[in-house]
Structure 1
Amino acid sequence: MRTLYFDCFSGISGDMVIGALIDAGADPFQMEEELKKLNIEEEYTLSWEKVVKNGITSTKFDVILSRKPEYLHEHIHSHEHHHEHSHSNDHSHDHEQSHILDHNEHSHSNSNSHEHHHHHDHRTYKQIVEIINEANFNASVKNMSLAIFKKIGEAEGHIHGLPLEKVHFHEVGAVDSIIDIIGAAILINQLGIQSVLSSAIPTGSGHIHIDHGIYPVPAPATLEILKGVPIAASDIRSELATPTGAAIAAVLAESFCPLPTMTVESIGYGAGTKTFKNHPNVLRIIIGEMQ
């Protein structure tokens, strides 16, 4: 059985997942074409490049928003965390950070490299479901994408006391989050993956600033998404698992276990934005045949 294993030794975020899948041999150009079915391509451009993280060559994936944010206001603010896709300092994903609710994964201003801030369109969960249903993806891509968004929407609704249909996603509704989740589903389907397994998920430690104040790591949304999933202790003071990354693993992984017995066919490293002193901030995926 063709199996994908998420080796999350430095956490997991949406952009790291896509970077690792491209690094393992998936075709990003086919993904880019498929994503046009969403009819939002005027809102973003995609980039991917090889980078070296603490000695490991990996692929960094970014979603760059086309428009400047109309309301930089409260959101860009302190995020230094967020954003999966764009930070450089020290972490990786921090970004998306956690809060789905208000941040977007790829764009934080702080140290990031690109300008893509989030332009929070404040799409609702219901609107995201409609966009996916109207896109005419194959059933596998559609179902994976809907399940991941539902996991995030339910977590946000639970924390904020809202029913799913009333949940607004500043963050997950942001274009970059939509691209990360649906792009990951497209690439996993493209690679013919039949089962997904994962290591325990390190969440990091410390605190992050989000629109609602200073929160502990893991942020409430991320922790809610990881209910039922083994999390791993980490003394790294940074957000290692973002809501999008956590939801991808929580929804797709059939079990959380050490590296299984398998014949390895391909390996991919997806770079996070931040750089840590003592270990590479990358997500490793291993694809192979399990007996």
Structure 2
Amino acid sequence: MTRARTHAWIDASAGVAGDMLLGALLDAGADLDAVRAAVHAVVGDAVSVRTERVRRAGLAATKAHVDLHEEDPPHRTWTTVRALLGAADLPDPVRRDALAVFAALATAEGAVHGVPADDVHFHEVGALDSVADVVGVCAALHDLGVTSASAGAVALGSGTVRAAHGAIPVPVPAVVALSRGRRVRAGGEGELTTPTGMALLAALATTDEDLPELTVAAWGSGAGTRDVPGRPNVTRVVLGEPAGAGRSRACQLEATVDDLDPRLWPGVLARVLAAGAFDAWLVPVLGKKGRPAHVLTVLSPPGRAGELEELVVASTSTLGVRRTECTRLTLERDWVDVRVEGTAVPVKVGLLHGVVQQVMPEFEDVARLAAELGRPERRVLAAAHAAAAAAGWVVGQAPPAGPRRGEAQGR
């Protein structure tokens, strides 16, 4: 059976906050009861979620309200929030995405305040409000079947805003930190994008692009609190199947280097991958004047190309980097666990149009198990392949029904 891919494009040209994006997804058809169930699983009866139809500068939109039922909710640390999410009865993709959002937020807030991420208190965004907004958005995306997301340029705002430590300039420091690699602009007066809103984009909509080619299936508008004359205070979302399922934009960055100590290359590759590259590799070539050289190639998300170019320049001895715009076909990827000698071995599977194309056990886990069993790696690898086939993961066939560990690639 073919499974359609659903892409969510987020229009943050008027700004984005957690409740605005939640309202947009509910307006686009996400089930409110599913959102409420996910939020309740994490924070119980401490909050409730409701919606209201409103107008913002003449446009109809859905306002998502998170009502607090605690007089003075505690300011939870990232460690506490992580434990709450880990213990909650949530679908794996919802938990995974919520953890990614809060990790991004904690890292940014920690860098801004000069404290370890685990010690960050989420008082600046409101502990329970933030948890409900983030979990609600992740649950809404899951309910809508969204498999990928992107966003256009983000309006951050201008002026100042009052926070726990006094008046600070807009965009606030955490929003600036989370904006790295994105196109941003002021877009108007006041705080148009909150740390929670930008963390959602940073973790879940990693591709920065204008509206991509889609077969539109649904759309929605989520309202902010204020009704600003002349400017609809809304975040919009457009849902649809991407043209050419599995295709996305990328930038291929290249540099030819003939004078770098070869012992440095593994570190260069590791750094560009850690900085967000899709992939990176090195090819030996014969350069000018017969010199042995290497061509470094970095496959980059469009929104991170500039950052990665600068990293290549800083990490190597090159005097320039070539950039080529391209598209790539990416398979939908999931993780499944199979058992070999009673031990779980993760297997990465790739699907195209709902049909299994690749089945590959994770080699590091295979090698670890082989060492524990005292057997050759090739035999444990073959056993893992056989276990996957016995579970129904066969190339050329539809995937079996049943739980998975979640997509191997992020949105």
TM-score when normalising by structure 1: 0.79
Q: Hey, what does 2:100 align to over in structure 1? A: 147
Specify the alignment match of 1:210 in structure 2: 163
Q: 1:10 aligns with which of 11, 14, 17?
A: 14
Post-superposition offset of 1:256: 1.0
- Structure 2 equivalent of residue 59 of structure 1: 62
Q: Which residue of 106, 109, 116 corresponds with 1:156?
A: 109
Amino acid paired to 1:21: L
Equivalent residue runs for 1:60-209 within 5 Å:
60-69=63-72, 119=73, 121-172=74-125, 174-209=127-162
Q: 1:274 matched to which residue of 2?
A: 226
The alignment status of 1:246 with 2:249, answered yes or no, reads no
What residue identity is the alignment partner of 2:70?
A: R
In the other structure, the counterpart of 2:213 is 261
Work out whether residues 18 and 133 of structure 2, in 8 Å CA contact, stay in contact via their aligned partners in 1.
Answer: yes
Secondary structure of 2:137's match? Answer: helix
**Cα distance in 1 for residues equivalent to 2:34 and 2:94:** 13
Question: Unpaired runs of 5+ in structure 1?
Answer: 70-118
Larger Rg: 2
Q: CA offsets, 1:103-154, max 9 Å, x none?
A: xxxxxxxxxxxxxxxx3x1111101000000013122111100010001101
1:36: which partner in 2?
Answer: 40
RCO higher in 1 or 2 (8 Å CA, sep ≥ 6)? Answer: 1
State the shift of 1:25 in Å.
0.5
Residue pair 1:171, 1:177 contacting (<8 A) in 2 also: no
1:289 and 2:293 equivalent? no
State the secondary structure of the residue aligned to 2:158.
Answer: coil
Q: Distance in 2 between matches of 1:156 and 1:246?
A: 12
Q: Which has the higher strand share?
A: 2
Which residue does 1:229 correspond to in 2?
182
Task: Tell which deviates more after alignment, 168-177 or 130-139.
Answer: 168-177
Q: Say which SS state the counterpart of residue 194 (structure 1) adopts.
A: strand
Q: Quick check: 1:49 aligned with 2:52?
A: yes
Helix, strand or coil at the partner of 1:170: helix
Contact 2:124 2:163 in 1 (8 A): no
**Could you list the runs of 5+ residues in structure 2 that have no partner in the other structure?**
244-411
Residues 78-105 of structure 1 show CA distances to partners (whole Å, capped at 9, x for unaligned) of xxxxxxxxxxxxxxxxxxxxxxxxxxxx
Q: Distance in 2 between matches of 1:254 and 1:221?
A: 17
Structure 1 segments of 4 or more deviating over 2 A? none
Tell me the matched-pair count.
239
1:173-193, Cα deviation, whole Å (9 max, x unpaired): 611110000110011011111
Change over 3 Å in CA distance of 1:173–1:127 after alignment to 2: farther
2: CA distance between counterparts of 1:148 and 1:60?
22
Distance 1:132 1:173 in 2: 17
